[in-house]
Amino acid sequence: MEKKLTYFTGLSFAIGSIIGSGILFLPSLTYQLSGTNVIVSWVVATLFCLPLLMIFSDFVRMRPDSRGVEGFISLGLGETIGATVPALLLSTVVIGMPSAAIIAGKYVERIIGFEHTVVITAVLIICVGIMVNLLGIKLGGLINTIIAIGLLIVASVVIALTLPRIDGSYSGLPSEFNLNATSKGIVVAFWAFAGFENLTFIAKDFKNPQKIFLRTMASALIVCGALYLLLTYSVASLIPFEKVDSIVGVFQLTQLKGSAELLPIAVVLFSVFAVSINKISWIWGLSRMIQSSASEGKLPEWFLKSNKNGIPHRAIVFLFVAFISSVFLALWKKEWFETLLQIVSANFVVIYIMCILSYLRVCSEKLKLFLTFVLLGLFLWVLSSMGWILLYPCVVCLISSFLYLRNTKKRKTIVALNKGVTGDVN
């Protein structure tokens, strides 16, 4: 397939990979967890991403193929550990992507008020993501870029209507530093930047991945980080701590006395654009990951087939079914919602830690090694605050490793038997 992703179209996929429903609830959820330390949490989480840019950029130069982080982790830790990535990512996004669509639906419901608004909005957003992916890289990339431009315009309107009302205070909260609260905010804030790994799966679709990939990721980090910081600052400054809603906190900005009439509409459009571009980008990356993993024998061979335009349509259809099923499950078990969001954040941190450990095995530059060791220590410290939630990624990794080893042994047995039969015939 011809490589047609330039810096600008790649940037729209990078922004879409990073930004999503997180921009709608993370400003309020991190505020609820960290209180007045919330800005510190965001700054630290953003700084953690700078060495990650270096790591992923170096890995792309080493392996600019569709295996993405799976190939990166396999490079330093072996194929058995690398084989856990597809299962870990799929088990994560099957929770995260539908949850994102539901959150956008909750925003739309605040305006329309119709009984089934949430589920209708969630399903429509997922359908849009699927249809754009089936259109192919040229037309799909164009649509994604248009949505990204719309997202940034609406975001600018929301911020412009909100910031002038801020007086610089934090709703009367005490300002003492709390290490435990700050670390919880940092872990959850990683939801905001969980997206670099998705971009690695489409690195091969860039015209020049070795040259463009780092610039694309760095630009997306700056844009998305600025949006998160500005919206978090608005929420923490204007909404009293005891009244903040951890899921639709950004929408609460529209309910403040004296807020502009245009603000509710702008926030709802912002939510739909953010989640839609996130779906398009992640479905694009995940479908390539699924197809690549199937070619390695880590997922069923059924996913290998592409349509006449080279689009992995079977993987895309699988994601559609998984996302729709999860939407109805999440709406059925609403009390699990916040716990599921924390599980998603922990999973992404585990994936990043595996990437860091792999990089330590293959990197030889002393300065980069030092920065990577520091980053590893910080990630482990942050992850230690997750408690029992870490059981989820651990169980997924153990099961996927076991299945990979069993399938590998089975394939070797079949090859040996075939050779034996061939030898007898000869």
pTM of the model: 0.76
- Taking residues 208-226, report their average pLDDT: 82
pLDDT value at 217 more than 80: yes
Residue 112 CA to its chain's centroid (Å):
28
Is residue 227 in a domain? yes
CATH of the domain at 352: 1.20.1740.10
Rounded Cα distance between 265 and 207, Å, is 38
Identify the pLDDT of residue 426: 45
- Taking residues 325-336, report their average pLDDT: 71
- Taking residues 223-244, report their average pLDDT: 84
Identify the pLDDT of residue 170: 52
Identify the pLDDT of residue 172: 44
Q: Single out the residue of 162, 177, 170, 199 nearest to residue 64, CA to CA.
A: 199
The token duo for 173 is: 């909260």
pLDDT value at 64 more than 70: no
pLDDT value at 74 more than 70: yes
Name the pLDDT band for 423 (thresholds 50, 70, 90).
low
- 273-282: burial string, b at 16+ Cβ within 10 Å, e else: bbbbbbbbbb
Query: Cβ neighbours of residue 43 under 8 Å, at least 6 residues apart?
Result: 229
CA distances, 168 to each of 8, 28, 92, 233, 237 (Å):
36, 17, 37, 9, 7
- Taking residues 380-391, report their average pLDDT: 76
Report the 10 Å Cβ neighbour count for 29: 28
The model's pLDDT over 342-361, given as tens digits with 9 standing for 90+, comes to: 677 677 778 888 888 999 99
- Report how many domains make up the chain: 1
Query: Cβ neighbours of residue 242 under 8 Å, at least 6 residues apart?
Result: none
Tokens 């990339």 correspond to what residue? 141
Identify the pLDDT of residue 424: 52
Which position has the higher pLDDT, 176 or 111? Answer: 111
Identify the pLDDT of residue 127: 92
The model's pLDDT over 158-206, given as tens digits with 9 standing for 90+, comes to: 888 887 777 655 544 445 667 777 777 877 776 677 677 777 777 777 7
Identify the pLDDT of residue 65: 63
Rounded Cα distance between 74 and 236, Å, is 42
Query: Cβ neighbours of residue 49 under 8 Å, at least 6 residues apart?
Result: 193, 196, 221, 225
pLDDT value at 391 more than 80: yes
Report the 10 Å Cβ neighbour count for 373: 13
Give me the half-sphere count of Cα atoms (radius 13 Å) on the Cβ side of residue 37. 17
Q: Look at 120-124, 295-299, 318-322, 404-408 and tell me which has the smallest mean pLDDT.
A: 295-299
Identify the pLDDT of residue 66: 55
CA torsion sign for 61, 64, 69, 70 is negative
Is residue 127 in a domain? yes
The model's pLDDT over 237-267, given as tens digits with 9 standing for 90+, comes to: 888 888 888 777 788 888 777 777 788 888 8
Parent domain of 54: 7-425
- Taking residues 233-238, report their average pLDDT: 84
Rounded Cα distance between 175 and 173, Å, is 6
Residue 206 φ/ψ, nearest 5 degrees: -75, 150
Per-chain mean pLDDT for the chain:
79
Identify the pLDDT of residue 421: 54
Q: Look at 1-10, 55-64, 221-230 and tell me which has the smallest mean pLDDT.
A: 1-10
Q: Single out the residue of 278, 318, 270 nearest to residue 294, CA to CA.
A: 318
Rounded Cα distance between 140 and 282, Å, is 13
Task: Give percent above pLDDT 90 in the chain.
Answer: 3
Is residue 1 in a domain? no
